[in-house]
Chains A and B, each alone.
Chain A
Amino acid sequence: MTEFLLELKGITVKFGGFKALDDLNLSLRTGELRTVIGPNGAGKTTFLDVITGKVKPIEGDVYFKGKSLLKQREHRIARLGIGRKFQSPRVFEKLSVFDNLALAVAWPKKPIPLLLESTNRAEHARIDKLMSIVNLQAKSTVLAGSLSHGQKQWLEIAMLVGQKPDLLLVDEPVAGLTDEETDLTADLLKSLAGENTVLVIDHDMDFIRRLDSTVTVLHQGHVLCEGDMETIQKEPRVIEVYLGQPEEGIS
């Protein structure tokens, strides 16, 4: 057996009477790049909420590096090495690009050190590197709120990488991006895998094809099937699930 970085076992989440996740099982190996797809309401975002501690399941357990995450609060989970990029870009709009990244790379994330010490040279270098990865060097002092949508998406990805997480959870990174930006984002995420473990949620098929990773299909709160893109596209159950939504474009 390979060592799994993240394991979800029998996760069930209920909102009122509605089961958002229903006996969900999923494992990620260290260094893996994984894509999770599924029609609207399949539970994709809820599933990230469970991992990051925002939603507590009524059944099942989540293990990260062999330890259960269920008892941990959000900021603890983040410090353990799980970073999350939200569906719509969420950056600190009243802070500059540089300051956004400075918050992400800061360590330790405790009040007193932050009060007494300013960004040091090593952190400076890391921030500069992050900005160059996502092409935002020229925007260093610009308030994040005045960036374009695509730039905000990238800034948030850069913040995520700046946290040095072992596991990156990326929720719809290419929503609202141009084709060119989408391709660049795919390449960026692929280059991050290996050193990091990356889990991407999306339903842009071209993007997922370009990521070229193992795909997990979620449907009604549980895993429908898993495999590479070729296998998935031929899988009759997947075609059936997606038939109601022809514009999603599984061809």
Chain B
Amino acid sequence: MNNFHTSKGRPSWILWIVIIAVIVSAPTILPVFRLNLLGRYLSLAIVALGVDLIWGFTGLLSLGQGIFFALGGYCAAMYLQLNSSGDFPNGIPEFFGLYGIKKLPFFWEPFHSSLFTVVAIWLIPAAVAALLGFLVFRNRIKGVYFSILTQAALLVFFNFFNGQQKLINGTNGLKTDVTLIFGQLVGSESIQRWLFWLTALLVIAAWSFSKWVVRGRFGNVLIGIRDDEPRVRFTGYNPTLFKTIIFAIAGGLAGISGALYTVQSGIVSPQFMTVPFSIEMVIWVAVGGRGTLLGAILGAVIINYAKSLISEALPASWMFIQGGLFILVVTALPEGVLGWIQGSGPRNLLSRLGISRYSATYPKLEMNHNQERD
């Protein structure tokens, strides 16, 4: 009964084959350093999926996803530190000693449990997002005001985390690469390989989940909110609830993403909550293609991989390239690269070059008549 969404995503199965091939072959082809980078960028794809859900589908441009990303990272990092700190004074992570703390702050106690941590990594960011979102959406704050508010929230969190040496080691952050998991160093090659597989698996899981969320009428309500929120209201829906739920989902995805990124880069610090980083997340989605999900994944991985390759070859040039890319997408490909490919982009290009015989004037004529629904 559910084949009404036929228009979304034609050539995406080709892309999927490419993606799976890359993921499967990467551990054998890439040296461990590059593999680790790819793993990190794949984990960023998960936060990008969340950005696509709230921005691409629901029209909420959040510039504060770094908050939820960092929260997930801190949860994972503290769990690892707590489980590797048996030999330190008082049995608590070493940095507490620097500030004369002898007893673990109470809110870190549950992070001794791995089960609690696995839940907290997504549930805490999701809950914070739900609370923040509910207050904002209930007051009907939207558009650019919403963006500014999320950025302000990001700055508040950034400054707060920077100042809390005694609770979370402040600006130094929490290291994970010298901690232990399953009796091995988290920074070791075997664990990093294992984390790569875990990340790849979770990217696909996050994608499937996001696809499921937007697949049916729930997703259509989100699109309705993006395009005409008052109309949604007069149809009998409460946009506040829908926006809060999707913002919480994006927050949860950001938390998972942050945790995976942390364990693969070896540290979490308030640097995860800088303003440019959260804006970059938006750029990945804009370049990849808003409202396509797959575009968010491709945007995050390819842009970040390009960033590291180009920065190695031509240091200091990356910011210009990234800025140029963003301008190019906004002016020439407003739907993003994937949106352009899936839309009438290639056909328009071909006909403009005189290659295609098909006119681009009535692109929808041939598909209108009596397409059977079930």
Which residues in A have some Cβ–Cβ distance to B below 8 Å?
52, 54, 73-75, 78-79, 83-84, 86, 90-96, 98-99, 102-104, 106, 109-111, 114-115, 117-119, 124, 138-143, 146, 159, 163
Contact = CB atoms under 8 A, between A and B. Distances in A.
A146 B365 CA distance: 10
Nearest to A138: B370
B53 interface: no
A143 B234 CA distance: 21
Closest 8 CB pairs of A and B: A78-B236, A74-B233, A115-B218, A114-B218, A75-B238, A109-B236, A141-B371, A114-B217
A89 to B, nearest CB: 10
B156 to A, nearest CB: 28
A90 B228 contact: yes
B216 A114 contact: yes
A103 B227 contact: no
Interface of B: 1-2, 4, 6-7, 213, 216-218, 220-221, 223-224, 227-228, 230-231, 233-239, 241-242, 245, 364, 367-371, 373
A109 B213 contact: no
Contact of A102 (B220, B230, B238): B220
B4 A75 contact: no
B157 to A, nearest CB: 27
Given A99-B220, A103-B220, A139-B368, A92 B241 contact: no
Nearest to B216: A118
Contact of B371 (A75, A109, A140): A140
A75 B228 CA distance: 14
Contacts of A163: 235-236
B234 A92 contact: no
12 contacts: A78-B235, A92-B224, A93-B227, A99-B4, A99-B220, A103-B220, A103-B224, A106-B217, A114-B221, A142-B364, A159-B235, A163-B235
A149 B233 CA distance: 23
A84 B234 contact: yes
B2 A92 contact: no
B54 to A, nearest CB: 15
Contacts of A86: 231
A110 B239 CA distance: 10
B233 A141 contact: no
Contact of A138 (B213, B236, B368): B368
A44 to B, nearest CB: 17
A138 B245 contact: no
Contact of B234 (A78, A96, A124, A139): A78
Contacts of A92: 220, 223-224, 227-228, 231
Contact of B237 (A96, A99, A109, A141): A109
